[in-house]
Amino acid sequence: MELNDIIFYIFGAITALSALYIMLTKNILYAAFALILTFIGVAGIYVFLGAEFIAVTQILVYVGGILILLVFGIMLTNRLSGKKVISSAYNKIMGFIVAGGLFAILLKGILEANFSALGWIDKSKFSDSSIPAFGLTLMTDYVLVFEIIGVLLLLALIGAVRIAGNVRKEGEDGV
């Protein structure tokens, strides 16, 4: 076994174990932190599969944006109510049912799909030069969109902190 294979299996094990922890834990905050580890493990697998752009996008979008906002929201919710946020057994059972149904649908679709009949797969020839061109287009033609999204996320975080501060002050005054 080569070193690359060992590292690939380590990323696979990290991803699987953290996903298992998400499934078995009752504390939603710990599950969100384990989800960060799962996303990083998936990004590592993408790197070993030769999809570096998808790995970086995975880290930037999911870990850097969505999941940090999720953790921030859970921490604010936990702080406001004073109670721990835990998941119930009913939620886990429903999660298993929904996940199993989605898995069955996706598996059926994959097994019945005829990927060789798709014309765009043969026509697309990806090379290393397409990624820099894509990045250049993204950061020149669409840079305003990214700036607006960044400002909106910043305003949402500032608003959440402001609301949490107001609720805490009202609770201290007895109002």
Domain end call among 68, 88, 108? 88
Residue 108 lies in a domain: no
Per-residue confidence band for 81, with pLDDT thresholds at 50, 70 and 90 = low
84, 131: one domain: no
Q: Which residues touch 167 (CB under 8 Å, ≥6 apart)?
A: 80
71 within 8 A of 37, measured Cβ to Cβ: no
**Which tokens in the block code for residue 170?**
């009202």
Tell me how many domains the chain contains.
2
Dmax of the chain from CA atoms? 68
- pLDDT tens digits, residue range 143-167? 677 677 777 777 777 776 776 666 5
Q: Is 86 helix (H, G, I), strand (E, B) or coil?
A: strand
- Does residue 171 have a pLDDT over 80? no
Q: Please tell me whether residues 75 and 138 are part of one structural domain.
A: no
Residue 82 CB burial class (10 angstroms; 0-12, 13-18, ≥19): exposed
Residue 79 lies in a domain: yes
Task: Say if 113 falls within a structural domain.
Answer: no
Closest CA to 168 of 85, 81, 86, 83: 81
Q: What is the pLDDT of residues 14-65, one digit of tens each?
A: 999 999 998 888 887 788 888 889 989 998 988 888 778 888 888 888 877 7
Name the residue among 63, 51, 47 with its Cα closest to residue 10. 47
Residue 6 burial (C-beta neighbours within 10 Å; 0-12, 13-18, 19+): exposed
The amino acid at residue 123 is K
Task: Identify whether residues 84 and 3 lie together within a single domain.
Answer: yes
Q: Let me know whether 67 and 131 are in one domain.
A: no
Q: Assess if residue 110 is contained within a domain.
A: no
Give yes or no: residues 82 and 129 share one domain: no
Looking at the whole model, is its pTM more than 0.75?
A: no
* Identity of residue 122: D
Please give the residue range of the domain that contains residue 14.
1-88
Of the three residues 42, 72, 88, the one that is the final residue of a domain is: 88
Separation between Cα atoms, residue 29 and residue 72, nearest integer Å:
9
Q: Is residue 164 part of a domain?
A: yes
The domain spanning residue 9 has which CATH number?
1.20.120.1200
79 and 30 fall within a common domain: yes
pLDDT at 129 over 60: no
Beta bridge partners of 86: 27
Mean pLDDT for the chain overall: 76
Q: Is the dihedral of CA 66, 68, 74, 77 positive or negative?
A: negative
User: What are the residues whose beta carbons fall under 8 Å from the beta carbon of 28, sequence distance 6 or more?
Assistant: 74, 85, 86, 87
